[in-house]
Amino acid sequence: MAFSNRVRSALTTTVLATAATGFLAGCGSEDEQEQVAYCTNEDGEVVDDDYCDDDYRGGGGLFFLYLGAFRPGLPVGSVLPRGGTRVDPRDTAARQRYGLPGTGKVSAGQRVTGGIGSGTGGSGS
């Protein structure tokens, strides 16, 4: 069976687009699985989750939700390596932008899905 060049071109484009979409979808979900969140002080030391509850009224600006490719289950007092993203726990929009709930407490080692900044370092709001 012979196909015209136009049909061959359309089939090739469709196959390549489908393969690329599948590849990119697989890459995105891998990055999302690696992201976890911890409540830390300004030195990157894991502290009690209560300090990063958006209702916490003490020590403004001294505690952060720190997101990165960290191991879940790290205890309070662990110092996280550089390369994560800091988010002000009182900034509802920033929390949501990075895939966290807009309000409330974030549990230590909580996996973060969606959001921007997956797998890269940098600074949040």
Name the residue with higher pLDDT: 49 or 125: 49
Name the residue with higher pLDDT: 19 or 46: 46
Q: What pLDDT sits at residue 80?
A: 92
Please state, rounded to an integer, the average pLDDT across all residues of the chain.
73
Name the residue with higher pLDDT: 107 or 74: 74
Q: Grade residue 13 by pLDDT with cuts at 50, 70 and 90.
A: low
With contact defined as beta carbons under 8 Å apart, do 106 and 49 qualify? Answer: yes
In angstroms, the Cα distances linking 51 to 20, 31, 40, 86, 107 are 43, 27, 8, 14, 11
Q: Whole-model pTM?
A: 0.61
With contact defined as beta carbons under 8 Å apart, do 111 and 105 qualify? Answer: no
With contact defined as beta carbons under 8 Å apart, do 56 and 21 qualify? Answer: no
Q: Grade residue 58 by pLDDT with cuts at 50, 70 and 90.
A: low
